[in-house]
Structure 1
């Protein structure tokens, strides 16, 4: 590795904190809370994504599960509390969303949920870092 960038190695945990807080805030504020505000209509719309996997019932419940995943999972990412289970749950939610978007729309529409799925899988593998409530 180039010595010029070596000084950044000590900031690994700060980088994880920034990533966790940013992604967690996006899940809570951009995805979870608006879905909570939409109520049954939003839950039905989001829950219908499971059609892509051959499930033809319970769309409202699947939508509620996705909403809870985004609200609680995002909050856990922000705090660094139960971060690995939260990351895995968010990964599965975003995987379903990406697959659904790819099936019903286009590769372009699937790009954002696919990237979020990759980020969540990476956070699952990397762990929360030192700046987390799990480490206190």
Structure 2
């Protein structure tokens, strides 16, 4: 029975590693990095969507923060470093993105990517980075 439990535990850690590497890579390289390097013009557009939530000040700042969350958060998720804080930041970021789509009248289909990503990051927030993460190496899984 112990051998079976050990195999299951390794599968869980392998699954978390695969999830972190895959999702982290796409959020870092495909979503975050292009937004971060695009500069203030795109940040203004992204941050301007906060007006749908009644937040009308500092749109460039909010756009930059969203881009930084996706880029930096994606890198941290890949590494399994500060996994829970990064996942919390990205859960919130994707929640806001999903609400933005809905507030702009785009419907569930357009909001689905952000909503799905929100639940992936929520799962990482709850589960942590797993045994094969830098969190485990540096913090013994306490973060």
Q: Given the alignment of the two structures, is residue 97 of structure 1 paired with residue 97 of structure 2, yes or no?
A: yes
5+ unaligned residues in a row in structure 2: which ranges? 138-143
Aligned to 2:62: 62
My pick for the range that moved more, 79-88 or 33-42, is 33-42
- 1:111-135 Cα deviation digits (max 9, x unpaired): 0000000100110001110000111
Q: Which residue of 2 aligns with 1:3?
A: none
Q: 2:42, 2:15 → 1: CA distance?
A: 34
TM-score with structure 2 setting the length: 0.87
Q: How many residues align?
A: 131
Cα contact 1:49–1:96 (8 A) shared by 2: no
Given that 1:80 and 1:132 are in contact with CA atoms closer than 8 Å, whether structure 2 keeps it comes out as yes
Q: Distance in 1 between matches of 2:34 and 2:7?
A: 37
Aligned CA RMSD, in angstroms, stands at 1.5
Which residue of structure 1 aligns with residue 15 of structure 2? 15
2:31 matched to which residue of 1?
31
TM-score (norm 1): 0.91
**How many angstroms does 1:106 deviate by?**
1.9
